Amino acid sequence: MAVAVGRGFLVQPCSYSSSPIFHNKLYKPSLGSATTFWSTFAPQRYPQVAVQAQQRPTWLPGLDPPPYLDGTLAGDYGFDPLGLGEDPKSLKWYVQAELVHARFAMAGVAGILFTDLLRVTGISNLPVWYEAGAVKFEFASTRTLIVVQFLLMGFAETKRYMDFINPGSQAKEGSFFGLEAALEGLEPGYPGGPLLNPLGLAKDIKNAHEWKLKEIKNGRLAMIAMLGIFVQAYVTHAGPIDNLVEHLSNPWQKTIIQTLANSTS
């Protein structure tokens, strides 16, 4: 099958029996039969054929994505340079791992910016975010807080892992202190319900591809922002709002280039 893009010519094949040049004598057209000769042998002009391939967006334009990344996953742009998702079981786990890290990053960035804004404006006497862990609280000791955090996070992560291994098992009656109806257990990674989806934005999680895409895009951006906040704190020993205020005070002299140059000198 030949496909021509644009305006071109297509030569029709001639069979042995129908072609006059393969008869006993060579066909010699007369002047009057020139039209017949050219209509037989000349290439026939066909209408313009426009072929438009519907290509899926990839992280690098023109790149052929791996076959196991077929675009069905939310936020799938064919990015897997190390081939970590070749195994289907590993791919399912990496999808859940990215989703959890994305949500933690979004919560972390929002918490850091909000508390840093309260601290810089003087509304609240809060420590800078990277020193918050060293603060001693009056209502509980550091050891108590660590134990409580391990218990709560361990319980939540165990339930999440059990739902990943056996989807829907954690929505059964009696599996979550009577709160199963509030979680609904829509699918692994998306428990839903009035507790975790109070606005009801994605009640039909099977057809909520757009909401999944928005979440993973914002989550990936938050992970990059979190990495930037880490590096920023290490280099400048200040919070993100402090760095922003310093930059706005002298935009041409207080930039990332000057900051990195001064930190290495």
**Using alpha carbons only, what angle is made at residue 19 by residues 13 and 22, rounded to the nearest 5 degrees?**
125
Alpha helices, H only, the chain: 34-41, 88-120, 142-165, 180-183, 193-196, 209-236, 240-249, 256-264
Q: Which two tokens stand for residue 90?
A: 């590993």
Rg (CA), the chain: 33
HSE-CB at 56 with a 13 A cutoff on CA atoms is 17
Alpha carbon distance 58, 93 (integer Å):
22
**How many C-beta atoms surround the C-beta of residue 59 within 10 A?**
12
Residue numbers in the known binding site are: 98, 101, 103, 183, 214-215, 218, 220, 232, 247
Q: How far apart are CA 175 and CA 185, in angstroms?
A: 11
Point out the annotated binding site for chlorophyll a. Answer: 98, 101, 214-215, 218, 220, 232, 247
Assign residue 221 a region (left: φ > 0; alpha: ψ between -120 and 50; beta: otherwise): alpha
How many residues belong to the chain?
265
Tokens 């297509």 sit on residue:
10
Extract the annotated binding site for chlorophyll b. 103, 183
